[in-house]
Homo-oligomer: A and B are copies of this chain.
Amino acid sequence: MTTRDDCLALDAGDPLADLRQLFALPDGVIYLDGNSLGARPRAAVERAAEVVAAEWGEGLIRSWNSADWRGLPERLGDKLAPLIGARAGEVVITDTTSINLFKVLSAALRIQEEDAPGRKVIVSESSNFPTDLYIAEGLTDMLQRGYRLRLVDDPEQLPAAIDADTAVVMLSHVNYKTGYLHDMREVTRLVHENGALAIWDLAHSAGALPLDLHAADADYAIGCTYKYLNGGPGSPAYVWVAPRLRERVWQPLSGWFGHSRQFAMEPRYQPGEGITRFLCGTQPITSLALVECGLDIFARTDMQRLRDKSLALADLFIELVESRCERFGLTLVTPREHARRGSHVSFEHAQGYAIVQALIDRGVIGDYREPGILRFGFTPLYTRFVEVWDAVQALLEILQSEAWKEPRYQVRHKVT
C-alpha cells in the first residue's frame, strides 16, 4: 500500500515539479479546486499592474493600438489553439462560455435550417452543465420555430437519441459533476453519420488533457479560461469553429468588433473574416490580458505529460480514499477507466456538503455539487503527490471524528 513517503518520492521524481513555482499558492492550503478556479500564476500581479498603471493610466486610449488591446482576442486565441488541437487564426478569446454557446448554437441551427429544415432537435445530457441547457432553452424559446431539447440521462443513451430529427448535439467533453469523458472522435462520428452538427464544451477538458478538435472533426467548440487554463476569476471564454463552416456561419450577436471594417462606422453589419465574426462588444481588457499569464505556462510542457501526471494523481487519490476511508460510505462516481475520465474525481456521500465544508476549514479545498457530490480537481501544473496523501488524511480524520456533524458545516451558503 502506498505510504506518505512513497508520495514524497513521487514528487521528488516528478519531471513537472518545477512548474509549481510559477504559481502563487497560499500557505496551509491544499488546492484541489483548479477545475473550478485555477490558481494564480505569479506573473499575474505584475501583468495586472502593467495593464492598469501603464497601459490604461499612461497609454490611455492610445493603448488600443500601442498595447494592441484590439488584437488580444485573436492573439491569445492563437496561444490557446495548440492546447485544443486548433490552428492559429481559428480561436478568439471573448465574452463568456454561455454567450459563446449562444453564438455557435445559433450558427449551427441556421446552417441546418438552410440544409435540413426538418431537423428540430437539440440533443444533450440532463447532467450537462446547467448554463449550457439554459442557453439552449432560451434560444429555442426565442426562435419559436419548433426546436426542442432532447436530454439523455446517460451517455450510453446517446446513440439512440441522435437521429434524423437531430439538428445539433451539444455536449460537455468532460462532465462537470461525474468527470465522465466522452470519446470526442467517436461521438462526433456518430453525430455526423446522422447528419447533425457537434458542439463541444471544453470547460473541464482544455488544459487538463490532450485535445484535437481537427482530428475529431468537431464542428464547434467553446470553453472557459478560468479553470485548468488559470486565466483568473471569470476571465473571458473562447470559441472555435471548424474552418470548413466559418465562412458560412452567421451569428446573431453581431456587434461592432465582429464587423469587417469596425471603424468605418457603417450603419449596416458586414461580418469580418473567419472567426473574428464571433466577436461582439468591447472586451474587459484587464481580465482578458491576464489570460496570457496562464497560457504562457503551458508552453513549458506538453499536454500528454500533464495528462499522465493528472491520471497518476487521480489514481492515487482513488486508491487512498478507497483503501483508507472504505468504512465511511464514499462511493466513486467518476469512471475508473482512464479513457473515460477527465482530471477531477468525484465521490458521493449523503453528508457530502458538510464534509466538504470541514475539509475547506482544514485547508483542503475541493468543492461540492448537488446532489451529494464531493469533487476534487487534480491540476498537474501545481498539485503534488504528497498533497493527495495529506488531503486523504484530512478526509479520514473528518470521517473518523465525525467532525462534519458540527452545525457550522451544515449551514448551506452559496458555493461555486
Q: How far is the CA of A290 from the CA of B286 in the complex (A)?
A: 9
- B99 contacts A60, C-beta separation under 8 Å: no
Please tell me if the beta carbons of B281 and A284 are within 8 angstroms of each other in the complex.
Answer: no
Contact partner, A287, options B39, B139, B284, Cβ 8 Å: B284
State whether the Cβ of A37 lies closer than 8 Å to any Cβ in chain B.
Answer: yes
Q: Which B residues touch A139, using CB under 8 A? A: 252
Contacting B at CB under 8 A, from A178-197, are none
**Residue A325 lies at the interface, judged by CB distance under 8 Å to chain B:** no
Nearest CB on B from A75, distance (A): 14
Given contacts A96-B95, A286-B233, are A369 and B265 in contact (CB under 8 A)? yes
Once the chains are docked, how many angstroms separate the CA of A46 from the CA of B29? 25
Q: Are A256 and B134 in contact (CB under 8 A)?
A: yes
Binds B, one of A47-55, A238-246, A339-347: A47-55
A350 contact set on B, CB distance < 8 A: none
Within 8 Å CB of A288, what residues of B? Answer: 234, 284, 287
Contact of A365 among B49, B62, B414 (CB under 8 A): B62
A126 within 8 A of B: yes
Q: Which residue of B lies closest to A31 (CB)?
A: B60
**A130 — which chain B residues lie within 8 A by C-beta?**
256, 259, 265-267
Please determine whether A365 and B286 come into contact, CB atoms closer than 8 angstroms: no
A368 closest partner in B (C-beta): B263
Q: Check A232 for interface membership: any CB of B closer than 8 A.
A: yes
Q: Least Cβ distance of A15 to chain B in Å?
A: 26
- Knowing A56-B44, A286-B48, A290-B52 touch, does A141 contact B252 (C-beta < 8 A)? yes
Number of residues of chain A lying within 8 A (CB) of chain B: 97
Contacting chain B: which of A2-10, A64-72, A163-171, A303-311?
A64-72
Contact status A52-B48, CB under 8 Å: yes
Contact B284 A236 (CB under 8 A): yes
Considering the complex, which residues of chain A in the window 341-370 have a beta carbon less than 8 Å from any beta carbon of chain B? 360, 365, 367, 369-370
Alpha-carbon gap, A266 to B57, bound state (A): 44
Judge whether B224 and A282 touch: CB under 8 Å. Answer: yes
Known: A39-B60, A134-B256, A143-B142. A414 touches B70 (CB 8 A): yes
B365 and A265: CB pair below 8 A? no
Check if A131 is an interface residue, CB within 8 A of chain B.
yes
Q: In whole angstroms, how far apart are the Cα atoms of A18 and B251 in the complex? A: 48
Provide the residues of chain B in CB contact with A106, threshold 8 Å. Answer: 142
Segment 309-332 of A: residues with Cβ below 8 Å from B:
none
Question: Nearest residue in B to A39 (C-beta to C-beta)?
Answer: B60
Taking a contact as CB atoms closer than 8 A, the residue among B258, B266, B282 that contacts A97 in the complex is B282
A226 near B: Cβ within 8 Å? yes
Please measure, in the bound complex, the distance between the C-alpha atom of A262 and the C-alpha atom of B253, giving whole angstroms: 24
* A19 at interface by CB-CB < 8 Å: no
Q: A407 near B: Cβ within 8 Å?
A: no
B414 touches A262 (CB 8 A): yes
Digitize A74-96: 1 where CB-to-B-CB distance is under 8 Å, 0 elsewhere: 00000000000000000000011
Quick check: A256 and B415 within 8 Å, CB to CB?
no
Q: How far is the CB of A97 from chain B (nearest CB, A)?
A: 6
Contacts of A263 in B (CB 8 A): 370, 414-416
Question: Are B360 and A62 neighbours in the complex by a CB distance under 8 Å?
Answer: yes
Chain B residue nearest in CB terms to A360: B62
| Residue A292 is within 8 A (CB to CB) of chain B in the complex | no
| C-alpha spacing A153/B70, complex, angstroms | 30
Contact at B61–A285, with CB atoms within 8 Å? Answer: no
The distance from the CB of A230 to the nearest CB of chain B, in whole angstroms, is 10
Verify A370–B265 contact, CB threshold 8 A.
yes
- What are the 4 tightest A-B residue pairs by CB atom distance, in nearest-first order? A96-B281, A284-B287, A98-B281, A98-B255
Complex A-B: 7 CB contacts under 8 Å: A29-B60, A45-B53, A62-B360, A98-B282, A135-B254, A234-B284, A287-B287
